[in-house]
Amino acid sequence: MSKKVLVVGGAGYIGAHSCLLLAERGYDPIVFDNLSNGHSEFVQWGPLEIGDIRDRARLDAVLAKHQPDAVVHFAALIEVGESVTNPAAFYDNNVIGTLTLLSATMAAGIDAFVFSSTCATYGLPDRVPMDESHRQTPINPYGRTKLIIEQALKDYSDHKGLRSVMLRYFNAAGADFEGRVGEWHTPETHAIPLAIDAALGRRGSFKVFGSDYDTRDGTCVRDYIHVLDLADAHVRAVDYLLAGGETVALNLGTGTGTTVKELVDTIAAVTQRDFPVEEAARRPGDSTALVANNDKAKAVLGWQPTYDLDAIVRSAWNWHSRTNH
pLDDT in tens, the chain (325 residues): 799 999 999 999 999 999 999 999 999 999 999 999 999 999 999 999 999 999 999 999 999 999 999 999 999 998 888 898 999 999 999 999 999 999 999 999 999 999 999 999 999 999 999 999 999 999 999 999 999 999 999 999 999 999 999 999 999 999 999 999 998 877 778 889 899 999 999 999 999 999 999 999 999 999 999 999 999 999 999 999 999 999 999 999 999 999 999 999 999 999 999 999 999 999 877 888 999 999 999 999 999 999 999 999 999 999 998 876 5
- C-alpha separations of 174 from 94, 188, 316 in Å: 25, 14, 5
Q: Which CATH number fits domain 191-222+256-291+306-322: 3.60.40.10, 3.40.190.10, 3.90.25.10, 3.40.50.1970?
A: 3.90.25.10
pTM attached to this predicted model? 0.96
Q: Domain 4-170+225-253+296-301 sits in which CATH superfamily?
A: NAD(P)-binding Rossmann-like Domain (3.40.50.720)
User: In this structure, is the dihedral angle defined by the CA atoms of residues 98, 103, 104 and 110, taken in order, positive or negative?
Assistant: positive
Burial of 90 from C-beta contacts in 10 A (0-12 / 13-18 / 19+): buried
- Residue spans of the domains in the chain: they are 4-170+225-253+296-301, 191-222+256-291+306-322
- Residue among 13, 27, 122, 142 flagged as catalytic: 142
Q: Residue 142 catalytic?
A: yes
Type and span of the H or E element at 321: helix 309-322
Question: How far, in Å, CA of 53 to CA of 33, rounded?
Answer: 8
Per DSSP bridges, beta strands 70-73 and 4-8 are parallel
Which of the 8 DSSP states describes residue 120? G
